[in-house]
Amino acid sequence: VFTSATIDRELGASVFFKAENLQKVGAFKARGATNAVLQLPADITGVVTHSSGNHGQAVAYAASIRELPAWVVMPRTAPALKMDAVRSYGAKVVLCDHAERESTAAEVMERTGAVLVHPFDNSAVIAGQGTVTLELIDQVPDLDVIVAPIGGGGLLSGAATVAGEHEPPIAVIGAEPFAVDDAYRSLRSGIRQSGVPSPVTVADGLLTGIGAQAFAILMAHEVDVVRVTEAAILEAASFLLLRMKLVVEPSGAAPLAAIRTESDRFRDRRVGVIISGGNTDFSWLAAANALTSSRETSP
């Protein structure tokens, strides 16, 4: 857990960053994948999943522990760094269009007999992700609120489950790009909304629409979501890198962007922030630097 006096002064709050970018495979996804894969029956012949990167790496890592073959379906637009990392654990990468991930995974299952380890709509995965919050609450007492990014919702629903059982309960808030705001719309309307078609965001780990199990859990715990701009995400990722010396992918910087975006609701509170991962090729850094330069030169 890291802190920043600069951030605390800026926001008038006490902020604690849970650094899952330093986790195995560089993301919190290792928790849910290992919990799920290690519980699978002894006679399975392999595992398959679909992922933009981090969950794919986690399943590949978990499969390697059991010496199981693994197939990871990834969108062609996924960062090459994440594809290479999946392969480094011995898994096979199957490329497809973003909208075809689930159907392609089904084809792989049919062809190989492998078992699907869903990236978020899986109770064992959600339980594994919940251990992030279990640890954070143990490490930092008296938190008022926990903020985490949301894509499919496994991390946030795990956090809500744990924080909701704490005495007193701890509020949980999600951070989501405006470009992929189906979770925000779903939780506001009470009806699970379809994902944004062909979404474009620097936060590639948050492209997936909210899952059914996660939606039900988040609704039950009355979790709110803050939407953030691409500029806010870039500024947050840049701050974490340059000021706190933490390598954080844009998806993992979304919670800091959310706190800055709606700073009044966090003032004078003890805030836990889950940095979800650090797998990045820094392709976003040029845009972040350009944003900073334009603001420094504007009148």
Strands 171-177 and 115-116: unpaired
- Amino acid at site 157: S
- Amino acid at site 267: R
CB atoms within 10 A of CB 189: 9
Distance CA 160, CA 169 (A): 9
Given a contact cutoff of 8 angstroms between Cβ atoms, the answer to whether 275 and 17 are in contact is yes
Given a contact cutoff of 8 angstroms between Cβ atoms, the answer to whether 155 and 149 are in contact is yes
Q: Which two tokens mark 252?
A: 């993992």
Active site residues: 29, 52
Q: Which two tokens mark 92?
A: 């096979």
Distance CA 158, CA 154 (A): 6
CB atoms within 10 A of CB 1: 13
